[in-house]
Amino acid sequence: MLRYRVISSMVGIPLIVLAVWFGGWLLLLLTAGIMLIGLRELAAMLRKMDLNPPLAVMLTGSAILLAAAYLFGERGINWAVTLVLMLVLLTVVIRFPYYSPVDGAVGLLGTLYLGLFTYFYLLRTLPEGWIWLIFMLVGTWASDTAAYFVGKKLGKRKLAPSLSPGKTVAGGIGGIAGSLLVAVLFYAIYSFLPLWHLLILGLLLGVMAQLGDLWESVIKRTAGIKDTGKIIPGHGGVLDRFDSMMFTAPFVYYYLVLFGIS
């Protein structure tokens, strides 16, 4: 399992870094691909809960959100969310009783959840955005990796046994330490970045990464599955690998905007 994880990372990480470096259409296509596969995985999990999510509407809604981010930036998200909501409501009205109000609510939640990944693209549009996007990526990966190995080595007390029995308090602390270490390393490389903001981001990034992972555990636990898919050897599905970034990408984006760092 670990060997496959390493091989997948050695192939996938350079491709992601390349897309981040060039930005533009290349990054947009990567973001769209992750959202598309993620939505299909999510819809499959929801069906295991005896729900009937409107996948076509969810895919259309995600395309609307990403197109709004591309054309108008973050300010386009507000009207895009309203448009997606109207689309879901109309679908339930037109297709009732095939789609119930519960199906519509689940479809809307799923669309907005995967829609958070648009901030993966939006981060790149900020000044020095490629640095901050790489920081978010490396910080999230470091948190996930440190949490895994520290938890495996030192973990005894469970962090959230009802959600994810494998996660421990020691692993959670290790995850935060991992993202903090990344913040220190980035300051050593890019000394023009604000140190205290980097440290705060590193600390909170580790927390948000684990919250994103726990949210995905809620869905998998309810669906009764271990992995969201099999597309990434050693990791599982796209959501297994990128679930943390649904939380960390918008968090880093809005932190930077709020404090005028970018």
Please give the average per-residue pLDDT across 173-197, as a whole number. Answer: 94
Give the dihedral sign, CA 183/253/229/18: negative
Residue 204 has pLDDT above 90, yes or no: yes
Mean pLDDT on 24-36: 94
Residue position matching structure tokens 């290790």: 174
Handedness of CA 247, 137, 253, 124 (dihedral sign): negative
Which class for 95: exposed (0-12), middle (13-18), buried (19 or more C-beta within 10 A)? middle
Question: Does pLDDT of 7 surpass 60?
Answer: no
CB of 145 closer than 8 Å to CB of 177: no
Predicted pLDDT of residue 233: 63
pLDDT exceeds cutoff 90 at 241: no
- CA trace torsion 160, 166, 170, 174 (10° rounding): -110
DSSP state of 236: B
- Residue 28 CA, chain-centre distance (Å), reads 15
Query: Which one has a higher pLDDT value, 262 or 188?
Result: 188
Q: How confident is the model at residue 148 (pLDDT cuts 50, 70, 90)?
A: confident
| Tokens representing residue 67 in the block | 């197109």
Q: Please name the residues in contact with 254: beta carbons below 8 A apart, sequence gap of 6 or more.
A: none
For the stretch 158-178, pLDDT in tens is: 877 777 777 888 888 999 999
Size (the chain), residues: 262
Summarize pLDDT for 64-108 with one digit per residue, the tens.
Answer: 999 999 999 999 998 999 999 999 999 999 999 999 999 999 999
Of 83 and 260, the structure prediction assigns the larger pLDDT to 83
Token pair of 123 as six digits: 């981060």
DSSP, collapsed to helix, strand or coil, labels residue 144 as helix
Q: What is the mean pLDDT of residues 128-155?
A: 90
Whole-number pLDDT of residue 237: 84
Q: With a cut of 90, say whether residue 156 has pLDDT above it.
A: no
Average pLDDT, the chain: 90
Tokens of 160: 């959230």
pLDDT for 28 equals 95
Give yes or no for residue 24 having a pLDDT over 60: yes
39 vs 55: CA distance, rounded Å: 8
Q: Which stretches of 116-237 are DSSP H helices?
A: 118-124, 129-154, 169-189, 195-223
Q: What pLDDT digit, counting tens, does each position of 52-69 carry? A: 999 999 999 999 999 999
The pLDDT of residue 3 is 57
Mean pLDDT in residue range 233-256: 88
Residue range 204-230: mean pLDDT, rounded: 90
Percentage of residues of the chain with pLDDT beyond 90: 69
Spell out the domain ranges in the chain: 2-258
Query: Residue 227 in 3-state DSSP?
Result: coil
